[in-house]
Amino acid sequence: DHIHADKPHYTISTDATYPPFDFQDKNNDYIGIDQDILKEIAKRENFTYTLKPMSFTSAAQLVANGQADGIIAGMAITDERKEVYDNSTPYYKTGVAWIVKNGSEIKSLKDLKGKTVALKTGTAASEYGKSLQKKYGFNIKYFNDTDTMYNDVVVGNSAATFEDMPVIQYAIKNGVKLKVMNTNNPGNAGSYGFFVKKGENKELLASFNRGFASIKKDGTYDKIIKKYLGAPA
């Protein structure tokens, strides 16, 4: 029946490792808050997609270059990104944590003078960390993925790192030997959104927003959050 167009098919990039938002289960299937949201929205909005997991910075670049249609990757809506992308309705509020290893002698940002801080390339938390560099006099070492970055702090090569609060809290709950120093005072980092290249893929963005409104309304969104974090958002 020619009245019914084929389902649109999209390429969506994501961060290969960003639990609890994007990660793999025992069968190597992609799961997480982002992945469950995307899957449910695609079902309701009647589109299919190929997922492209990679480093966060590459995943973001792929959409900026027009090689992928959209990105979902625990990616915060920032003013800089509004120049390059169009974003969806915000779907999860985040904040920036600064983090040291368990038993570290670092007690305040001042103690980071002359020390090395591990940051993840292209992230909002890394911009936040970089903005404090001059004031506190630390050196920066960049990593492409969160796990390698954490590990550099755990083994004592880097004295601290910056990452999003829900991401580090989930890692600590799952056994990573790190400690958040500003639990009650996170740096402002806005909210996560789904992104397309600025001015493009308007249909996909509209589908995401419509589907998101629908999963919010019937409680599916809250169920997804609860599945990964154990409490409603």
CA–CA distance, 216 with 212 (Å, rounded to integer):
6
Answer yes or no whether residue 34 interacts with ligand GLN by CB under 6 A.
no
Answer yes or no whether residue 92 interacts with ligand GLN by CB under 6 A.
no
Beta strands 160-164 and 116-120 are parallel
Site string for ligand GLN, 140-179 (x = CB under 6 A): ------------------------x---------------
Residue type, 162: F
Which residue's CB is nearer to ligand GLN, number 69 or number 163? 163
Which residue's CB is nearer to ligand GLN, number 73 or number 225? 73
Greatest pairwise CA separation for the chain in angstroms: 69
Which residue's CB is nearer to ligand GLN, number 76 or number 100? 76
Shortest distance, CB of residue 8 to ligand GLN, whole angstroms?
25
Contacting range for ligand GLN; rule: CB under 6 A; set: 23-31, 83-91, 103-111, 121-129 = 121-129
* Sole binder of ligand GLN in the list 33, 63, 73, 149 (CB under 6 A): 73
Answer yes or no whether residue 76 interacts with ligand GLN by CB under 6 A.
yes
Which residue's CB is nearer to ligand GLN, number 45 or number 224? 224
* Sole binder of ligand GLN in the list 124, 176, 196, 204 (CB under 6 A): 124
List of residues 6+ apart from 220 with CB closer than 8 A: 40, 214
Answer yes or no whether residue 224 interacts with ligand GLN by CB under 6 A.
no
DSSP string, 156-207: TSSSEEEEEHHHHHHHHHTT--EEES-TTSPEEEEEE--EEETTS-HHHHHH
Q: Tokens 């920036």 correspond to what residue?
A: 96
Contacting range for ligand GLN; rule: CB under 6 A; set: 118-126, 172-180, 198-206, 212-220 = 118-126
* Enclosing H/E stretch for 229: helix 220-229
Q: Is residue 170 within 8 Å of 93, Cβ to Cβ?
A: no
Q: What is the torsion angle, in degrees rounded to the nearest 10, for the CA atoms of residue 75, residue 77, residue 79 and residue 82? A: 90
Write out the residues near ligand GLN by the rule CB under 6 A.
15, 18, 56, 73-76, 120, 123-125, 164
